[in-house]
Structure 1
Amino acid sequence: MADSDRSSSDDLSVDSRDTSQDSKPEFSEDEETLITRMYNLVGERWTLIAGRIPGRTAEEIEKYWTSRYSTSQ
């Protein structure tokens, strides 16, 4: 009564890289409001702002801000 089931699960690597690095990040209306309010309080301290929005990085927030409010002269 020997079980001879052998499962080969060594090659289960999944490549889940996001290829849309250059796309504009999507923010909810609440996130946009919070970013604007925090920016008015602390300025360009992206890390501090990101600390108030779970799941967001300082880079994402800075990218959002510059794409939305850039002042090109």
Structure 2
Amino acid sequence: MSYMDHSSDNAIEDSTVQSSKDSKPEFSEDEETLITRMYNLVGARWSLVAGRIPGRTAEEIEKYWTSRYPSKE
């Protein structure tokens, strides 16, 4: 594999990562229910909510919440 081939692979990976960052995260119905219940208990303390959902980060959950329930400012 030449250097050129390897760099094109990285470009494909970078675009995949970027598109996944821009897209709305997918959550199961159980995760959505748990996020709502936890939000009602602890508010926007996303790290606490994420601690109850294995494999999810606080950033993913906050992004999900703000995309689903935009603030009314």
- TM-score normalized by the length of structure 1: 0.74
CA–CA distance in structure 1, aligned partners of residues 37 and 64 of structure 2: 14
Aligned length: 61
Residue 19 of structure 1 aligns to which amino acid in structure 2? Q
Q: Can you give the 5+ residue segments of structure 1 that lack an aligned partner in the other structure?
A: 1-13
Q: Can you give the 5+ residue segments of structure 2 that lack an aligned partner in the other structure?
A: 1-8
Counterpart position of 2:45: 45
- TM-score normalized by the length of structure 2: 0.74
CA–CA distance in structure 2, aligned partners of residues 53 and 26 of structure 1: 13
Alignment of 1:7-46 (within 5 A): 15=10, 16-17=13-14, 18-20=17-19, 21-46=21-46
CA–CA distance in structure 2, aligned partners of residues 43 and 71 of structure 1: 14
CA–CA distance in structure 2, aligned partners of residues 63 and 22 of structure 1: 10
Q: After TM superposition, what 4+ stretches of structure 1 lie above 4 angstroms from structure 2? A: 14-17
Counterpart position of 2:64: 64
Cα shift at 1:22: 0.7
